[in-house]
Structure 1
Amino acid sequence: MHPLVRAGDLVVLTVDMVPQDPVQEEQPVHLASPYSVLSFVRDMPAPLSLRLFDLEGDVVHHGGTDAEGEPVVSERWDTITTSTGTRLQMAFAAPATDVDALAVLVPGAPLFADVPVVDDEVPPAVLEGQVPAEDGPTPTVAVPVALDLDRVVHAPTFPLESTSAELEGAVQTTESTESVEITLGADVLFAFDSAELTAEATAAIDLVAQRLAEREPGTVTVVGHTDDQGDDAYNQDLSQQRAQAVADALGGQVDAQDYPLDVEGRGETEPLVSGSSEEDRARNRRVVVTLVSTVVTRTEVTATGELPEFEGLVQEDPSALLRIDQTRSWDVRATARRVGGHVVVDLVVAAADDEVDSAWVAGFLRGWGDHRGDGTVSPHDNTARATVLDGAVRLYPMDYEVGVSETWPGGEWFTASDLHGAARIDGGQSRTYSYVYPRLDADAVTLQVGSGWSEGDFRIVDIPVEP
């Protein structure tokens, strides 16, 4: 991993990938698959799953593309034909001038947390001894080939969003540097068929006021929602009354001149999730508080309550391997560290057998969280089933929206985790999956994959969070 080199309004990443075992020319190693993304919304050219993260400013950088949408990368980066290896070089939008390091997420490897950003000469785009695309036999020294930075016409960046569920799931906060959205479960705020706040609502309202105070002044929207039981007019009226009750309570804690409250009821017209089960209806009964403004101060999430019950595998000793027996057997171990204030969990998955070229992969990591609701999607192989718990507080992996479509009007969301959850792991091999979570004031966390109801769901308790 070379330092990131500034080149005008771009920054160039250079990564050398050298095989540990000799490579036969007739059996090249193909790297493209782990770096590609199976998107539902956009045509995502490889190697998109290699990304830069500014975890102080909460921004993610995607690789630059040309006028045809093709990635601007070094030639033949995706195939290793000799034991020399290969060099992947690609351009991104440069970070702000005061940013002197970024994190780099490479598929299958632990997050590189602190890669320097320097002013220097951009290295050649071809590794010494590698065959440039236009050459024939392997040269002793590769011809210096420069990355064509003039081809870059689009180098996107996206604001990272964090989602936490506090007070035993009663309050869910989704925020970025630009906005905060707090969803309050109506069943905690109100009794059935009532718009009068319960005694238990006090802690939830206090938390909302705290989140608003972390932001620049602006108009706060308070919107009430109901489930689909009852007629439309009744639900509309109930949602308006409940939104007003929350606004009245907030009005006693925030300065109305700095944070004027705009109250609205939408009845059953905008469900968070489809379905008529009691669980689905409970999620749809909610009051959503939104403020669009920038962060002034940032308060880390502080845990309260006990770990929720869990029916899956539980590993009480985080230093020990957890064996997951499915069609194949896997050993997993997790460690945690703090990067830019965020909690980063590195989950190592190793094949516990001797199989080679098996069709069975560690599928228990594939999927995404349900906190975004209906109308949203994540890449097909996304590895976002892993959440972090501290007491009753749950943190979802950081994510960001890359686009919308007619099928997915709520957008497609990429997570700050490996986007290739179906990687093959042969016997004797391991793969590391890094997850970036919101900021959390905790010395130890619990990692949970799944809800506990599916085969392979597991929980690793009391993982120390290291510097």
Structure 2
Amino acid sequence: MPSFPRLFALALCLCIAAMARAEGLADVPGAADPPGLPRISGAAIIGYDQSGYDAFAYPTAKVGWDGAEAQVTVEGPHTRLLYVVPDDRAPLEVIRNYQAELTDQGYTPVYDCGGEACGPATPFTKFLYTMKLENSGQVSKMAFSLPRADLRYLVMRQPETGTTVSIYAAFESFDHFPQTADKVLVLLDLVEGKPMQQRMEIVTAAEMAGALGTEGRVKLYGILFDYDSARLKPDSDATLAEIVTLLGEDPALTVFVVGHTDMTGGYDYNLDLSRRRAAAVVTALTGRFGIAASRLEPAGVGPLAPVAENTTEEGRALNRRVELVKR
């Protein structure tokens, strides 16, 4: 049986190793600070997402168990980052550094709060961290599981560009992951003040038939889903109706309905999302439009068949699509 000194030494080594891992974190692949907005010195990005044009709600009053007493929703290209900062930082220091930097860039304050003025830590976190980041697996997904009451929050806006920045900083008390335990986590949301780009592309039934005849497949960008969901948006109906026309004009035609995603997030998650989205399209065509299920086969390939680079929003938008593939 190992002696007590040896057990103590082993425990000490494990503790030191865990501390080293926590201090030696690297940014998740593909992540980067927003242009012109540096991070807190020594911080690492453990979660990252660029969701394209999206809606983001932030509180402008105390958040309780029933939600925020008041909130504002902004729309635009949305970037979300999750940072873990070194041990010698505190939430207030983090917020004041961002506030100084943003003020220098012409941003004006919209709302800020600290501690109990923000509301209880758990509902406040749940309000903001609904779109959880999974780039670092459970480490990032479970971030802010036990935030302390000394949380700090800041929202600022650039009047000239309309860009809004939301920053939430809090100590993480959840000790399951040494990478984040007892460290300050920072959730940063940046919503650019840009108008939505019109991306609706209605491919007619005749165009679909032509592409299937020459290439064996057709890319469809008019089938749209709620963010991070397999729920079809109403705007998808125009393209679904063209698919119905296509199948009606060629009773012998059968197709694979293939879902595609970009590379944002984990591989397994995107693969599952693409399959669920393909299944949702088939369900809509069979359930609402009366197409025989035997003519449609859902499939999902996640990010495995990109048609553009995933390093820009334009490229990611092209990779997020549904295709019909001739069987």
TM-score (norm 2): 0.34
Higher strand share: 1
Please state which structure has a larger fraction of its residues in helix. 2
